[in-house]
């Protein structure tokens, strides 16, 4: 019998299966889609539209751990699309040049290096310029991309991996290059960013780009700038979201997507290293809320207690605090208007089920320092406004008082402020921190 691989639609019964497991089936002939290149995918996504052909280029903004991993994963495909890394200053670009214009991901201690990315850098006036490649610069060539006379043009596909609190600022710098035909895929922890973005950057629904939102759960740690270690295989759950997306499932939903959205969904779900799957908007929000509950408990308690994730499980006091926070979180989630009518919500988001979920994640990541503990220790802004702050805001809308989440939010902001004040009195400002973290100290 001849065994040939054939693909299914982007939609899957369960996002817990892995990308390969679900997508490859032993059937008949290989379909064009599975065997296709990015260029064929771009052509297929554009079929039937009156617009110009798609270039298939993917821009990535926010080249931290997640952004580097996504850029690396796309470049490692058998058919890598053209990729542009968008850098927010010259220091970051120089750091990239020092890394020989490559991104390294280490898996089980073995570095896999990917090259061939294009780069654009924004100047202090907000104009983006393509950085000259190694070949264009020549020996001893110019160090600054700003010498390039040609400003960069419109963007078709943008993946934004900045942290929640940087996203609006970062988008303000690039919004003029996005059109209603563009698609922006947001991947960050926390919730509520798109609402703020719509208020501040894209108030007019007609001119706003299309959005995809992702929930990312791969375990990554940073070795150096543009060099990360992949510690645990997770998933990337994706769904087009926003006012243009029909709340349907299956091929009917795909028909309502813009060509760039179809292309980006196709490209990401067919990038093996991402283990990416397509969900409905209602499905995605449930994954986001589960992750939010984890982040509302593990992140602030470990940041206040200065302990790793596993240590939370061996303290009666910390587990009490977690339980009490989860009562409020569960009450808010179960009352959210966007979830009303979705079957099983009260069971999935009961305080007890969320507690078991949080405990399982704390156990799986026992030796990790949470991202909030790292942010606090490195004097970076925390994501608290988009974790417990989001619960408090949604609770206020629904008439549910979340006093404990409010208190936790202020304990974190208070701690960050006190540490910043202490540092200002004691430690001189260092330019190296900006260069290597890509983030300004608070």
- According to the binding rule CB under 6 A, does residue 162 interact with ligand KPL? no
Element (H, E) at 230: strand 227-232
Find the shortest distance in angstroms from Cβ 296 to ligand KPL: 10
Residue pointed to by tokens 């890598």: 80
Closest CA to 423 of 378, 384, 381: 378
- According to the binding rule CB under 6 A, does residue 294 interact with ligand KPL? yes
Contact range with ligand KPL by CB under 6 A, out of 93-101, 292-300, 327-335, 411-419: 292-300
Residue pointed to by tokens 């020989």: 100
By beta-carbon proximity to ligand KPL, the closer residue of 180 and 234 is: 234
State both tokens at 409.
Answer: 């939010």
Q: Which residues pair with 378 in a beta bridge?
A: none
User: What is the CB neighbour count within 10 angstroms for residue 358?
Assistant: 26
Find the shortest distance in angstroms from Cβ 310 to ligand KPL: 10
- According to the binding rule CB under 6 A, does residue 295 interact with ligand KPL? yes
- According to the binding rule CB under 6 A, does residue 388 interact with ligand KPL? no
- According to the binding rule CB under 6 A, does residue 237 interact with ligand KPL? no
Closest CA to 123 of 90, 167, 168: 90
By beta-carbon proximity to ligand KPL, the closer residue of 36 and 189 is: 189
- According to the binding rule CB under 6 A, does residue 235 interact with ligand KPL? no
Residues 297-336 that bind ligand KPL (CB under 6 A): 298-299, 309
Entry field: residues in the chain: 442
Burial 399-432 (b: 16+ CB within 10 A, else e): eeebebbbebbebbeebbeeeeeeeeeeeeeeee
What is the spatial distance between Cα 394 and Cα 192, in angstroms, rounded to a whole number? 10
Out of 361, 392, 402, 416, the residue judged to bind ligand KPL by CB under 6 A: 361
Residues 62-91 that bind ligand KPL (CB under 6 A): none
- According to the binding rule CB under 6 A, does residue 365 interact with ligand KPL? yes
What is the spatial distance between Cα 91 and Cα 67, in angstroms, rounded to a whole number? 17
State both tokens at 108.
Answer: 């089980």
Contact range with ligand KPL by CB under 6 A, out of 95-103, 159-167, 367-375, 433-441: 367-375
What is the spatial distance between Cα 142 and Cα 138, in angstroms, rounded to a whole number? 8
Find the shortest distance in angstroms from Cβ 121 to ligand KPL: 28
Q: Quick one: the chain helix, strand, coil %, rounded to 5?
A: 50, 15, 35
By beta-carbon proximity to ligand KPL, the closer residue of 261 and 381 is: 381
Contact range with ligand KPL by CB under 6 A, out of 11-19, 132-140, 291-299, 326-334: 291-299
The count of chain residues that interact with ligand KPL, using the rule CB under 6 A, is 11
By beta-carbon proximity to ligand KPL, the closer residue of 71 and 294 is: 294
Q: Which residues pair with 186 in a beta bridge?
A: 160, 213
- According to the binding rule CB under 6 A, does residue 368 interact with ligand KPL? yes
- According to the binding rule CB under 6 A, does residue 381 interact with ligand KPL? no
**Residues in contact with 373: Cβ distance below 8 Å, sequence separation at least 6, in sequence order:** 299, 302, 303, 306, 307, 308
Find the shortest distance in angstroms from Cβ 230 to ligand KPL: 15
State both tokens at 36.
Answer: 């296709």
Residues 179-218 that bind ligand KPL (CB under 6 A): 189
- According to the binding rule CB under 6 A, does residue 266 interact with ligand KPL? no
Find the shortest distance in angstroms from Cβ 441 to ligand KPL: 20
Binding site for ligand KPL (CB under 6 A): 189, 294-295, 298-299, 309, 361, 365, 368, 370-371
């Amino acid at each position: 019998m001849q065994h040939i691989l054939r693909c299914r639609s982007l939609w899957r019964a369960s996002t817990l299966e892995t990308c390969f497991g679900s997508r490859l089936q032993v059937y008949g002939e290989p379909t064009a889609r599975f065997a296709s290149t990015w260029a064929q995918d771009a052509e297929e996504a554009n079929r039937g539209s009156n617009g110009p052909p798609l270039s298939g280029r993917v821009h990535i903004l926010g080249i931290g751990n997640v952004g580097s991993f996504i850029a690396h994963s796309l470049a490692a495909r058998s058919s890598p699309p053209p990729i542009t890394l968008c850098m927010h200053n010259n220091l970051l670009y120089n750091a990239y040049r020092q890394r020989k214009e490559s991104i390294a991901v280490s898996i089980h201690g073995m570095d896999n290096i990917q090259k061939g990315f294009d780069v654009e850098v924004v100047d202090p006036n907000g104009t983006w310029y393509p950085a000259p490649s190694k070949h264009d610069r020549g020996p001893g060539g110019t160090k600054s991309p700003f010498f390039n006379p040609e400003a960069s043009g419109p963007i078709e596909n943008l993946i934004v991996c900045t942290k929640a609190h940087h996203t609006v600022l970062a988008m303000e710098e690039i919004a003029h290059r996005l059109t209603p035909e563009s698609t922006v895929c947001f991947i960050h922890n926390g919730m509520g960013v798109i609402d703020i973005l719509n208020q501040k950057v894209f108030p007019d629904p007609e001119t706003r780009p299309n959005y995809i939102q992702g929930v990312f759960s791969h375990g990554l740690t940073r070795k150096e700038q543009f060099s990360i270690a992949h510690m645990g295989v997770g998933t990337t759950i994706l769904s087009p979201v926003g006012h243009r997306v029909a709340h349907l499932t299956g091929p009917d939903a795909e028909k309502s997507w813009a060509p760039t959205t179809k292309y980006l969904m196709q490209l990401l779900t067919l990038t093996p290293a991402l283990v990416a799957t397509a969900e409905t908007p209602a499905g995605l929000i449930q994954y986001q809320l589960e992750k939010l509950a984890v982040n509302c408990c593990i992140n602030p308690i470990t940041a206040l207690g200065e302990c790793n994730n596993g240590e939370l499980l061996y303290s009666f006091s910390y587990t009490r605090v977690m339980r009490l926070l989860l009562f409020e979180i569960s009450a808010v989630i179960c009352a959210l208007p966007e979830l009303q009518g979705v079957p099983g919500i009260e069971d999935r988001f009961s305080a007890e089920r969320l507690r078991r979920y949080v405990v399982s994640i704390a156990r799986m990541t026992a030796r990790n320092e949470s991202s909030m503990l790292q942010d606090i220790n490195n004097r970076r802004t925390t994501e608290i406004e988009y974790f417990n702050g989001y619960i408090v805001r949604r609770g206020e809308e629904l008439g549910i008082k979340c006093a404990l989440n409010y208190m936790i939010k202020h304990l974190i902001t208070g701690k960050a402020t006190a540490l910043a004040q202490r540092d200002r009195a004691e430690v001189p400002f260092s330019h190296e921190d900006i260069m290597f973290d890509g983030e300004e100290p608070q």
